[in-house]
Structure 1
Amino acid sequence: MWAQLLDALWALPLEKRIFAAVLLFSWTVYLWETFLAQRQRRVYRTTTHVPKELGQIMDSETFEKSRLYQLDKSTFSFWSGLYSEAEGTIILLFGGIPYLWNFSGVFCRRAGFGPEYEITQSLMFLFLATLFSALTGLPWSLYNTFVIEEKHGFNQQTLGFFAKDALKKFIVTQCILLPVTSLLLYIIKIGGDYFFIYAWLFTLVVSLVLVTIYADYIAPLFDKFIPLPEGTLKEEIEVMAKNIDFPLTKVYVVEGSKRSSHSNAYFYGFFKNKRIVLFDTLLEDYSILNKDHQEETSIEPQNIGEGENPETKAKVRTKKQGCKNEEVLAVLGHELGHWKLGHTVKNIVISQVLSFCLTVLSRRFEFQADAFAKKLGKAKDLYSALIKLNKDNLGFPVSDWLFSMWHYSHPPLLERLQALQDSKQD
């Protein structure tokens, strides 16, 4: 069948051959990833009891909640993916891209920009394309947030907060995307025979700049960042950073709980100006989701309820969330391992080549960072922290091997726990 299809494709005129090849490639990738997703979905459906290896670290209630959450996410992913692929195919078949390009040209000419202003027309095309994408993706985003995430206890947003957040994201994206694109198009226009080298260098520089400024100037537009209050946790973080020569300058807590109860931690910055960011949902002692009241709260006890919009009010959850200080330090030990072992720079370099190799290497880096945390004496606390984070985020600990290899940049929980088990401290 494939041979006949390729023969028929080769018999077409060149432009139709390219068009058909694009469609064929797109649907081949989609069907491959759908096949992998169905393998993983079969794991969610059939693995109804806690595996023997996890019997001591995961209770059956949490396991079942995680299984049902992942099943719902899998169903949503199937339908949203099918819609996305069908939408792209329809746009290509009915000439949606040329139509939008011509419409952009008409709009620009009416505004006084002639055909010689192709960069202006390109920017109008890009604006309209991203606007279309945002509008068609909005129902899916609403359903994911207010049905799936709400059903499983993760959503902390109101509809008003969601709307303002989506509008703000679109505006910020345009403020970055349009100027960068205009410069890139100008470089291509004047670059001559070696324009691709200059364009690649430009995109690399832009990527590095965005990584540098994101946490300081972009992320605060969406979430509140405050310095981690003085105390034992901050002191121990500073000591751990000093012991491995990590040039830490500040430690922040971000109020991720007004958006979702999922937890995270990361560091950013170049050279001698590194900063650590902890989600409040990661910290057992700071998470407002652990407060037993309905009032609006802040991470800083002395500022409870001051100056906040009611739409950011967090919903009360009954379960205890987050990690103890020792476990937070173990998680940071893992993250600092990525820095000490040079994984961040390696990822930037490799990301310029191809994504699958990056996924494979990223999994290796995760094991190496876990091993680094072991050397810091954090194996026992990292072991328990991984279990808690998996529980808080309803991560499912069982994965189809092929789905995991293709999609997961982080190894499955069970593999990481087994790697830590031998040297876990008593």
Structure 2
Amino acid sequence: MSIDEITVRNGILFFLWVEFVWEMYLSIRQFNKARSTNDVPEALKTVMKHEEFDKAKQYSLAKLKFGFVKDTHSIFLTSALIYYGTLAYIWDYAHSINPVKGEVTTSCIWLFMLSLLSTIIELPLTIYHTFVLEEKFGFNKQTAGFFVWDKIKAFFVSQLITVMISSVIIVIIKSGGPYFFIWLWVVVCIISMLLLTIYPAVIAPLFDTYTPLPEGELRTQIENLASQLKFPLTQLYVVEGSKRSSHSNAYFYGLFKSKRIVLFDTLLAKDDGKGCQNDEILAVLSHELGHWSCNHIIKNLIVMQVNLFLLFAGFAFMFKYPPLYKALGFYNIQPVLVGLFVVLQYVMMPYNTLLSFLMTVLSRKFEFQADEFAVNLGKAEPLERALLQLNKDNSGFPINDDLYSAWHHSHPPLLERISALRESARKLN
């Protein structure tokens, strides 16, 4: 290998390991913080029993330990893949079994093989996480048969979408001229908007059952809330999330004047004390509609598209650099999809890491704004109760290392969020 090739390869490996060490350092800080905390915070003593706090602590420690193993496994596997030129070996095999021998079809076969190998290699960790870790703390609701069928469906649906998009990308890069990255950006923007539109309505129902929320008090209250805010609600669904997990959630989707709200069935109040009461669900939805009212979705889409343009422009600047390919074992060819994968995944890693942190900061700001929107609707007290109930149901550990939380948590920690809610309510009154 030439000096340039060695420099590229070692540079990629260096950034990979720097990120790994940083993430490991943060996780160790959080692990030590959780392990050394034994008392329920004063603000939660009236709503969180000591046994519930201890379960949340043990769950948090278990997830962090699993993360140590998973991240270590990933860094060694990725380093070996880069160091030994595994991507090139897989490409050569994909080319050898491709009857057409064209770059588009070879690239699709290459991507399929990478995804298949990655899925197989990660399967033991996925099984452990679902059937050991989540099962131990009472969150897993999947049977083995459901898990297998779900993974098969998810794999082939994702491959179908990936192959179609990848084929379009290759054609644009190879035939788009010196400013192909502009055309690439425009087309990918259109594709991403289409996926945002069709995924909830077409793809998501392949995996979960969506049923209209039955007529009754809750449905009437939600419709009245949407009408009050002039939110263009067209459909109101309950998704059967309980067949996967007992974790709870709620969200809305849809573009322009057609919006749909989805409630997880685990969010609804149960006889065992889990789930939220109607006023708490309305408070949660007030928060979600706060994101809509404050145009957070549009702002995130704009940031995403600007970022996409910068990534494609960076790729256009770098992708013809021969050492980039030779460093990974591609000595005689420069497949554009390989170049796109390497540049966006590895070369742009420092930029991606910085952007991820900035997006976390922005997301937390948006969460506080959405909470304040709910407070202005008079939902401060039920929203606080809902946050406490959801934290209890999900065994969320309320104590966080500041640095770990600032880097990882796109939503503010529970205690910080409750404090802000109370302060906003106090100012309003």
Aligning the two structures, in what range does the TM-score lie when normalised by the shorter sequence? 0.7 to 0.9
Partner residue of 2:224 out of 223, 227, 239: 239
Match of 2:189 in 1: 204
Where in structure 2 are there 5+ consecutive unaligned residues?
308-354
> How far 1:177 moved relative to its partner?
0.8
Partner residue of 1:83 out of 45, 48, 73: 73
1:140 aligns with 2:130: no
Match of 1:337 in 2: 290
> How far 1:51 moved relative to its partner?
1.8
Residue identity in the other structure for 1:73: K
> Aligned partners of 2:227 and 2:303: how far apart in 1?
29
> How far 1:25 moved relative to its partner?
0.5
Instruction: Give CA deviations for 1:249-295 in whole Å, capped at 9, x if unaligned.
Output: 0100000000000000000001110000000000015xxxx5xxxxx
Match of 2:397 in 1: 396
> How far 1:55 moved relative to its partner?
2.0
> Which structure has more RCO (C-alpha within 8 Å, separation ≥ 6)?
2
> Aligned partners of 2:299 and 2:422: how far apart in 1?
28
Partner residue of 1:281 out of 245, 266, 275: 266
> Aligned partners of 1:202 and 1:31: how far apart in 2?
37
Match of 1:302 in 2: none
> Aligned partners of 1:38 and 1:12: how far apart in 2?
38
Partner residue of 1:121 out of 106, 110, 123: 106
Trace 1:202-351 onto structure 2 (pairs within 5 A): 202-284=187-269, 290=271, 319-351=272-304
> How far 1:57 moved relative to its partner?
2.9
Match of 1:104 in 2: 94
> Aligned partners of 1:27 and 1:202: how far apart in 2?
34
CA contact (8 A) 1:351 1:358 kept: no
> How far 1:208 moved relative to its partner?
1.2
> Aligned partners of 2:196 and 2:304: how far apart in 1?
14
> Aligned partners of 1:204 and 1:186: how far apart in 2?
16
> For 2:76, what is the secondary structure of its paired residue?
helix
> How far 1:420 moved relative to its partner?
1.1
Trace 1:146-165 onto structure 2 (pairs within 5 A): 146-165=131-150
1:177 aligns with 2:130: no
> For 1:277, what is the secondary structure of its paired residue?
strand
> How far 1:56 moved relative to its partner?
2.5
> How far 1:12 moved relative to its partner?
7.0
> Aligned partners of 1:252 and 1:235: how far apart in 2?
13
> How far 1:246 moved relative to its partner?
0.4
Instruction: Give CA deviations for 1:118-169 in whole Å, capped at 9, x if unaligned.
Output: 1111001000000011111111110000000000000001111100100010
Where in structure 1 are there 5+ consecutive unaligned residues?
1-10, 291-318
Moved more, 266-275 or 206-215: 206-215
Match of 2:151 in 1: 166
> Aligned partners of 2:299 and 2:287: how far apart in 1?
17
> Aligned partners of 1:199 and 1:400: how far apart in 2?
41
Residue identity in the other structure for 1:65: K
Instruction: Give CA deviations for 1:87-111 in whole Å, capped at 9, x if unaligned.
Output: 0011111211110011111111xx2
> How far 1:419 moved relative to its partner?
0.8
1:188 aligns with 2:183: no
TM-score, normalised by the number of residues in structure 2: 0.86
> Aligned partners of 1:197 and 1:403: how far apart in 2?
37
Residue identity in the other structure for 2:301: I
> Aligned partners of 2:187 and 2:23: how far apart in 1?
32
1:51 aligns with 2:41: yes
> Aligned partners of 2:51 and 2:10: how far apart in 1?
49
Looking at secondary structure, tell me which structure has more helix per residue.
Answer: 2
> Aligned partners of 1:416 and 1:80: how far apart in 2?
30
Identity %: 49
Equivalenced residues, count: 379
CA contact (8 A) 2:33 2:399 kept: yes
> For 1:211, what is the secondary structure of its paired residue?
helix
1:355 aligns with 2:356: yes
Match of 1:70 in 2: 60
CA contact (8 A) 2:9 2:83 kept: no
> How far 1:320 moved relative to its partner?
2.5
> For 1:351, what is the secondary structure of its paired residue?
helix
> Aligned partners of 1:350 and 1:40: how far apart in 2?
30
Instruction: Give CA deviations for 1:45-90 in whole Å, capped at 9, x if unaligned.
Output: 0011112232233221111000000000000011011001110011
